[in-house]
Chains A and B, each alone.
Chain A
Amino acid sequence: MRIIVPIKQVPETSNVKMDPVTGTVIRAGVETVVNPLDLYALEAALRLKAQHGGTVTAITMGPPPAIKALKEAVAMGCDDAVLVSDRKFGGSDTWATSYTLAQAVRKLGAYDLIIAGERATDGDTAQVGPGIASWLDIPIATYVARIGALAEGRLTLERLVEEGYQQLSVPLPALLTVVKEIAVPRLPTLRGKKAAKHCDIPVFSAENMGLDPSFLGLKGSPTKVVKIDAPKVTRGGKTVQAGDDEAVSAAVGQLIGFLEEKGLV
């Protein structure tokens, strides 16, 4: 079984600062990490490999330092990794990104499964995974919480939906996006780290993938950011005062009334 896992480098969220003028995230000098939700995709892929054999390939699109994220994926146990990197890809929206990654997957040859994280913690769109599936014209299952049996080229899955779980059977190749419930990600090991240190990571560029420049980067991105502003939080609190015992029971009554009104008790 060959599994491909697209991952992303994101700013480490405890230190994120916004530019008050442009309203965008300040990325300069900010530590990056593998998108935490992608670790679940890596874990799901590595468990499937342990069960069914095969290989896991991590792939990311980004500037050259993104290689750090790929090395971490290899340290966790991925067999190899590919960096999709070119100045021409700069400024890609989810449409151009998923197009570019889909072409990179094509270049990798035959595969059985693509497993992506639910979404990235910076952009928060959850569009790139499904976008890749659309470009490749393969079945997609989002919010997968459990992966079951593999039989006759079909995989049994459970999706997390609002009312509970939806059971599906999908023919392979397919793309899944997974939620946290899927499995707790393993930690990178020293063995893995050493393998990652010596692992050769090929770079896929616009040229060596033979891509149509009009589909790439800022130019190929239909999404235009017109304006960014921070919403004002208008969460008005209400304080119920109670100075003595008598006032306390009245205040409790008010509180119960409020909770009942909201259907919370």
Chain B
Amino acid sequence: MDAHARNAYSAVTPRIADAVRKIAGAKNVLVDDDKIQAYSHDETNAEKYGHMPELVVLPTKAEQVAEIVKLANREHIPITPRGAGSGLSGGAIPLFGGILLSLEKMNKIVEFDTANMVIVAEAGVVTNDLANLVQEKGLFFAGYPMSLQTCMIGGNIAENAGGGKAVKYGVTGRYITGLELVTPTGEIVWLGGKLSKDVSGYDLKQLVIGSEGTLGIVTKAIIKLIGHPTAKSDLLVLFKTARQAIDMVPIIMSKGIVPTSIEFMDQLSIITSCRYLNESLPYEEAGAMLLIEVDGTNQDQVESDLIAIGDLCEEHGAIEVYVAEDRNTMERIWNVRRNIAEAFKVYSPVQSLEDIVVPPSSIPEIIPELEVLSAKYGMKIPCYGHAGDGNLHATLVKEPSMPMETWHTAEVACLRELYQITRRLGGKISGEHGIGMKRKSYLKELADPVELKLMQGIKRAWDPNTIMNPGKIFDLADA
């Protein structure tokens, strides 16, 4: 922890708490330990990364957010914005205590503008609810990462969330055309608008997207919608080797068909998940699997794309190509992919879930490196994820017999090596989960120093008193 920064902040005194109550209403302010406990962690390991806030506030309007930020800025109190707390990098953890500002009560749809194919929503709207709402009108929020069903639009924007459909639809940021931001000095500003084009100055909106709440608090967003695909089908393809599976990705993409997802699973992931699910696929023979989804608005087109991809896989040595065209069968094959993490939790709950990203063609080079790391550090490292965009969940799993002290040292050393390999292959340490506090020290080691300096300069310009989600991505003290 950045001790210097910590000492530099003021405490949330009863006077400050009263001032916050005055702004947001007493019922929207929590100070009792048992009530604020839930806000001390996200989906990362609470014991390792969790930290208690001093006060939690649940504002209901952007104006309240602005007043609270002004107060924090004036009094030099750290403020941490939070959505659903489903993050995987510690981004919403109040590392220096202070005020935790949860957007959960700002959960209204402001406007559903079908003429412009946009929906304007407050940051605390649950993304799954928004996706269901627009689907009733035949529309689709293609930037929905489909992660935890509790995640909120504000959190998706803060992390620029990705997910399984990025091959075809890209990530959250592609669909955010405008946003309302409360700056770290407490001003309210609209960036972007209901626009498809906008080069009127710097694209500050894109700078905010993925900034992990360090450049301000997003309170509303304008979300671009597209037509909802009415047809979809899946292929589950078994290959002898990981290289064969990965080599298929450019072969498929170069045929002019863009699948919605191309998910990769290595042998260890497949075996663990299939055994956990009692799934009878002939997984023992498979060195790797691809799960390929195709969608569209024309059933015949989807079917012909599916067959074309399946034929290509067979021509290139697939052991077997399974087809899923109804919901039950699709659910069955997606279950194998979705349950990998859960299956490993049963094996050993102590893990480090990673989301490295490399150029897709480098994936086969990662696999043997993981085997080397696995043997060297005595842990299991299954590898699965979004092959279509090179984003892999190489997960460090502690062997149940390994003592915790050994694990703590081994995890750090192994992650460092994994990230170095990733960088050597032209990749980055996080493709969709973010840096937060979990990967901060590694970013410092691995990022280009010039890039880091530019980022720190932006942070200083936007947040002169360093009160907005401090201690995330990088420390200014390192500059």
Contact = CB atoms under 8 A, between A and B. Distances in A.
Interface string B308-323: 0011001000001111
Contacts of B325: 72, 188, 193
A125 interface: no
B320 A189 contact: yes
Contacts of B236: 187
A184 B277 CA distance: 12
Nearest to B280: A184
Nearest to B282: A186
Interface in B194-242: 235-236
A187 B307 contact: no
A26 B52 CA distance: 50
B327 A33 contact: yes
B307 A190 contact: yes
Contact of B307 (A34, A184, A192, A194): A194
Interface string B255-286: 00000000000000000000000111100000
B329 A187 contact: yes
Contacts of B324: 187-188
A14 interface: yes
A193 B307 contact: yes
B326 A187 contact: no
Nearest to A193: B323
Nearest to B278: A184
B328 A190 contact: no
B321 A189 contact: yes
Contacts of A193: 307, 310, 323, 325
Interface string A32-44: 1110100000000
A12 B280 CA distance: 23
A187 B327 contact: no
Contact of B332 (A31, A75, A187, A190): A187
B373 interface: no
A52 B280 CA distance: 22
Contact of A187 (B278, B310, B311, B323): B323
Interface in B365-410: none
Contact of A33 (B281, B323, B326, B333): B326
Contacts of A187: 236, 281, 322-324, 329, 332-333
Nearest to B328: A33
Interface string A9-48: 0001010000000000000000111101000000000000
A189 B328 CA distance: 15
Nearest to B332: A187
Interface in A57-80: 72, 75
A45 B17 CA distance: 71
Contacts of B310: 190, 193
Interface in A101-120: none
B331 to A, nearest CB: 9
Contacts of A12: 326-328
B326 A72 contact: yes
Nearest to B310: A190
Contacts of A75: 323
Nearest to A69: B326
Contacts of B321: 189-191
Contact of B322 (A34, A72, A189, A194): A189
Contacts of A194: 307
A189 B321 CA distance: 6
Interface in A124-162: none
Q: Select the residue from A32, A75, A187 with max chain B CB neighbours within 10 A.
A: A187
Contact of A31 (B235, B280, B327): B327
A222 B310 CA distance: 49
Contacts of A32: 326
A190 B327 CA distance: 17
Contact of B314 (A31, A33, A186, A190): A190
B328 to A, nearest CB: 5
A190 B323 contact: yes
23 contacts: A12-B328, A31-B326, A34-B326, A34-B328, A36-B328, A75-B323, A184-B280, A186-B280, A187-B324, A187-B329, A187-B332, A188-B323, A188-B325, A188-B329, A189-B320, A189-B323, A190-B310, A190-B321, A190-B322, A193-B307, A193-B310, A193-B323, A194-B307
Interface of B: 235-236, 278-281, 307, 310-311, 314, 320-329, 332-333
Given A33-B328, A72-B326, 18 more contacts: A14-B327, A32-B326, A184-B278, A187-B281, A187-B322, A187-B324, A187-B333, A189-B320, A189-B321, A190-B235, A190-B314, A190-B321, A190-B322, A191-B321, A192-B323, A193-B307, A193-B310, A194-B307
